[in-house]
Structure 1
């Protein structure tokens, strides 16, 4: 008869454990992520509106390109702040 091992594999458990952030950094992180979600939501709404309401394909393409550029520009400062926070949260090895 084969014996079955019920040993716990800690390496897999450690990979899936939630990360805990500094109490001072977590509110800022949540605020940045919330702001990015709002920006993305507004962008998606604007894209849908242009796509549904613009009969001229060439004009639609130009407006969508401009919206994409504005979206990128609005997001960039928040992305940069997230990168700075990430550097502060990750212990240097």
Structure 2
């Protein structure tokens, strides 16, 4: 939908903020914050390695290890997030 000025107008439902059950919202926020922290640390560590004076082969080896550790650290939080999303879907059904 658009107005005469050419700007689009979102439907009323699109403007409604999502509201989660009181027991799920803090859990969801906590999981997302933990994932953001893990991602930030990972990106910082990779940047340090890339900016180092080490040989390229060594940088790539260290970065591969950091990537593996990053996936391992994120995995339990991603599983928790999927479980919370499933609970939210079940409540909405």
Q: Same fold (TM over 0.5)?
A: yes
Higher RCO structure, 1 or 2 (CA under 8 Å, sep 6+) = 1
Structure index of larger Rg:
1
What's the TM-score, normalizing by structure 1? 0.81
Which residue pairs with 1:28 in the alignment?
A: 27
- The alpha-carbon deviation at position 19 of structure 1 amounts to 1.0
Unaligned 5+ segments in structure 1 are 1-10
Moved over 4 A (4+): none
- The alpha-carbon deviation at position 90 of structure 1 amounts to 1.3
CA RMSD of aligned residues (A): 1.5
Which residue pairs with 2:57 in the alignment?
A: 58
What's the TM-score, normalizing by structure 2? 0.81
* Count of aligned positions: 83
- The alpha-carbon deviation at position 13 of structure 1 amounts to 2.1
Matched, 1:40 2:39: yes
